[in-house]
Amino acid sequence: MKTMKKIKYIFVVFFMILVSCDADDNRIAVALSNLTVSPEVSDDGSGKVVFRTSATGANVVKYDFGDGTTGESITGYTTHTYTNSGQNTYTVILTAIGSDGNTITETVDVTVDVPVMNSDLVNLLTKGDSKKWFLAASQAGHLGLGPARDGIDGDWWYPKWYSSQAFEKCGSEISDCFCDDELTFSVDSNGEVSYVLDNKGQTFFNVGHRDVVAGTEEEDYCYDYDTSGTKSVIISTVEGNVPEAETTGMQMDFSDGGFMSYYVGSSSYEILSISENLLYVRTYDTLNPDLAWYLKFSAEVSTDGGEESLETIFTNLVWSDEFDVDGTPNTDNWTYDLGAGGWGNGEAQTYTDNPENVIVEDGVLKITAKGTIGGASGVKHYYDDITLLETGGAASNLEDFEGTAPEFSGFGGASSTVIDNPDASGANTSLKVAESLKNNGAETWAGTLFDVTTPIDLNTYTSISVKTWSPAVGAIVKLKLENQANADEFFEVDALSTVENEWETLTFDFSDAPVGTYDRVVLFFDFGVSPVGDAAYTSARIKSENLYEFTYGRVEIRAKLPSAGGTWPALWALGANFDTVGWPACGEIDIMEHVGNNSNTTSSALHYTGNSGGNAVTGSTSVPTATSEFHNYTVEWTADSIKFVVDDELIHTSFVNSSDTPFNSDFFFIMNIAVGGTLGGTIDTAFTEDTMEVDYIRVYQ
């Protein structure tokens, strides 16, 4: 940052000198002389070279970069990127032009090493010829946002928060054009990669880049935009800001302003991960390089080498539930998960065992999600007595909300206001407290900030305590200190609520905070643990845990799915050792997932260590009648492979199972409907109820 400021200062001074000279009618012409150049070749494989030049009496310096391209500069430096693969030497010709039109030239040779394209990566990208990719709309995290920096604890949003920080856009009318783009990568006999984006006539633009087109909307929007034409693709190594384990270290650069579906002005994409079925990239917003955007694409459906139907090896029926006895589900087969919050996925429902949410009726299991029109008023947390603490125990009040209320600013759908203490008992008998309201539909990271007039002295006060009131145990409370004038200067600390519906004091340790000017307080509550309103949405989640658990076999579930926007039904299995090893180490087999906001598609997934959350191994297929007719959803699970099937047709390239995966021990079944959350997306404001019907579940071995 200091270097950039110096460069800007040099440019300003140089520019002022030029302007003042032009304005001086009596100026003395300076003879053109002393043209020198110092090239700085990047060693990261990107092909970038910075040419630093100086020349007495020069108005401009023009460059012939030796690769067929030219440029010019008046700033004393310019940057050029060479794209030819391999190690190449270029003769660069510089021409300085003086105010009187005289010129002098200088030449310099630069050797640039751009790695030859990784053949395995190119094969995955192009299938050795041509391959189409589509937005992974059925997955959580098909569009995500995170910072472009690393190195500060809590500053890195991928992968820790990725699935909960994602924006699900395919359920929204203003962005539905985003969801049918086709991205085609091809490779020719010379190994050159090309790219075509078919956007079906419209592109989804980030709000900050709307001036590229004629629109004036104050939000992200779909616009008519021509993306036709073939772009060349250069793949080079890159040293990103992510940990090495979270990136391939490769970057794609598109020619002629090419981009991947969502327009943020960038033509460079770092490949975070790639497999036969999944391409996960990140790019930097050209208007705000501190922001990184993440996009996830799935490949054209593969049927495992052309195989169209499953030839099962399992024919012996060993367990089933035919749901042929009306009433509550068979207690020999099923028990319940109860409670709110969706276990960290930002879901809106509360799970119950009420017959209105789960019942066997007319020969089918019915799981029904119910809601109030318009949703809940929101989830509320309260906070008070923000206090600075010295190591020795001395304290100083930062804000107790008893006087003039601070000027709150909410973001992500949250807001704060000062109110009368709604629970003046226990640990807090204050008259006034602050209320944090997260409205239905708010982002999981929604929060509120307020500024203080005097920067917080973290040399004297190393901790901060806050009295909080939360409606659930385990709700994340994040306290963040920022510099109003510099968004890059901040430090944040997390704590968890330990009681529900009562006051407690949480202490946040800021002893490791770097030196800075901290004059803004930011508070985030919940991140998906607390219930939303007064159980505005209810549903059911039944499981066979400790009742029926098994290893290997063919599972077949016949079901008809709900269609309402915001519903997220799932038929899946979880490793029975999750209570000892945790998730994702226990493994998860998603036989079928579906979202009402994309009702004609179903997906399947495998979650395990290194491939969890938004980075799972996935596949999807079109099922146009998924919500109006029953279909068979199947997984064939062996010690060697896992295959997913819809109506006997393979829809997921065979996963190679091995002793290194968790898919070699007992799993149990789960069936549920979630509402909203990272995959369910926007909840229809007119939603009242919708049902998943399950005709049977059968296990063959």
Instruction: Find residue 61's DSSP bridge partners.
Output: 73, 96
The answer to whether residues 483 and 519 touch, using CB atoms and an 8 Å cutoff, is: yes
CA of residue 307 relative to chain centroid, distance: 34
Q: What are phi and psi of 579, to 5 degrees?
A: -75, -15
- 86-98 and 476-483 beta bridge pairing: unpaired
Strand partners, 692: 367
Burial class (CB in 10 A: 0-12, 13-18, 19+), 512: exposed
Quick check: is 588 catalytic?
Answer: yes
Residue 45 three-state SS: coil
**C-beta separation of 155 from 147 below 8 A:** yes
User: How distant, in Å, are the alpha carbons of 16, 17, 58, 59, 98 from that of 21?
Assistant: 8, 6, 12, 11, 13
**What are the Cα distances from residue 140, in Å, to 269, 400, 575, 618?**
20, 39, 21, 11
Burial of 494 (0-12, 13-18, 19+ CB in 10 A): middle
Q: How far is CA 440 from CA 466, 529, 591, 685, in A?
A: 25, 14, 29, 10
Query: Which one of 556, 588, 636, 693 is the catalytic residue?
Result: 588
Torsions phi, psi of 478, nearest 5?
Answer: -110, 125
Q: Which one of the listed residues 593, 629, 649, 689 is annotated catalytic? A: 593
Residue type, 96: A
* Beta-strand pair 549-550/641-646: unpaired
Q: Is the alpha carbon torsion for 612, 617, 620, 626 positive or negative?
A: negative
With contact defined as beta carbons under 8 Å apart, do 661 and 639 qualify?
A: no
Quote helix, strand, coil % in the chain, to nearest 5.
10, 50, 45
Lookup: tokens for 133: 């990719």
CB 274 within 8 A of CB 280: yes
Structure tokens at 655: 């996963």
Cis peptide before 329 (omega within 30 of 0): no
Contact call for residues 381 and 471 (beta carbons, < 8 A): yes
Beta bridge partners of 250: 237, 271
Which amino acid, residue 221? Y
CB neighbour list of residue 489: distance below 8 Å, 6 or more residues apart? 482, 483, 516, 517, 518
Question: Cα angle at 297 between 295 and 303, to 5 degrees?
Answer: 165
E-state strands within 181-330: 182-187, 193-198, 202-205, 221-224, 231-237, 250-254, 262-263, 268-274, 278-285, 288-299, 317-321
**Token pair recorded at residue 138:** 């059925």
Q: Which residues contact 579 (CB under 8 A, 6 or more apart)?
A: none
Active site residue 593: yes
Q: Which amino acid is at 196?
A: V
Q: Tell me the H-state helices in 525-635.
A: 578-581
CA 345 to chain centroid: 13
Positions annotated as catalytic residues are 588, 593
